[in-house]
Every structure is written in C-alpha cells, then in structure tokens.
C-alpha cells in the first residue's frame, strides 16, 4: 500500500493541553474521535525521510519543516487517522507538545490509499 496526496494544504493543528503525553489515545481525544478508531503511528524521522530521500532537491524543504517542528515542539509523533466521511481517505498529523503543554503541529488531509 502506498499513499498519495491530493494536494491538500498543510494546516496548523492546535489542540488542547496534553493529559498524558503524546500517545495514540491522546491524539484521538484531541481530534474528538472514539477510542476504538484505528490510528497508525509512524516514526517522525523515518516519515520525513520517506517523503523525499536526502538526495532529492525537495529534501531541503522537508529539512526546514523538520527543523521548525523540532525547535518548537517536544515529543513529536506522526499519526494517520481514517477520515470520518470516506473509508479510503485518511488524515495525517505531525504533532508534539508546545511550550505551553498543548498539542500542536500540522495536519494534512485527503491521503488516499493507492
């Protein structure tokens, strides 16, 4: 299975205070989804590397994004959650804990299994 984006823009995600660290259960709570929702967690660095290999020119943009996230967030995780409305569409969250203790990061929607 691979994923493709439908050119969905990245959006800022600003949640509330993290109750118990950045866990899949915490993420589901942050986006008001039930605890039995399928959620996939991915390694942050590996996810970024998989976007574009470091030999790709676009890697510079990904590296800038990584640097901004790492400078402003701790406990960074990547979560993929099924869309509420379509079974083959998923939302991607790259989130961590900001200096105020809140879940913050970026969200991209409309990832489709291909």
Q: How far apart are the first and last CA of the chain?
A: 6
Would you say the C-alpha torsion 62, 12, 82, 18 has a positive or negative sign? Answer: positive
Containing structural domain, residue 24: 3-113
CATH number assigned to the domain comprising residue 92: 3.40.1460.10
How far from 66 is each of 26, 37, 40, 49, 71, CA to CA, in Å? 22, 28, 20, 10, 8
Three-state secondary structure call for residue 26 = helix
The pLDDT of residue 73 is: 96
Q: Which residues pair with 41 in a beta bridge?
A: 79
Which positions of the chain have pLDDT values less than 70?
1-8, 52-56, 86-87, 110-114
Spatial CA neighbour of 39 closest among 85, 71, 77: 77
The pLDDT of residue 17 is: 95
How many structural domains are present in the chain? 1
The pLDDT of residue 4 is: 46
């Amino acid at each position: 299975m691979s994923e493709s984006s439908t050119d969905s823009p990245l959006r800022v995600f600003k949640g509330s205070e993290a109750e118990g660290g950045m866990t899949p259960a915490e993420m589901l709570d942050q986006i008001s989804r039930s605890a039995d929702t399928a959620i996939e967690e991915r390694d942050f660095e590996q996810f970024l590397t998989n976007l574009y290999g470091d030999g790709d020119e676009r890697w510079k943009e990904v590296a800038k994004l990584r640097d901004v996230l790492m400078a402003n967030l701790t406990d960074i995780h990547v979560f993929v959650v099924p869309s509420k409305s379509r079974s083959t569409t998923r939302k991607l969250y790259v989130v961590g804990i900001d200096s105020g203790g809140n879940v913050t990061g970026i969200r991209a929607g409309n990832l489709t299994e291909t």
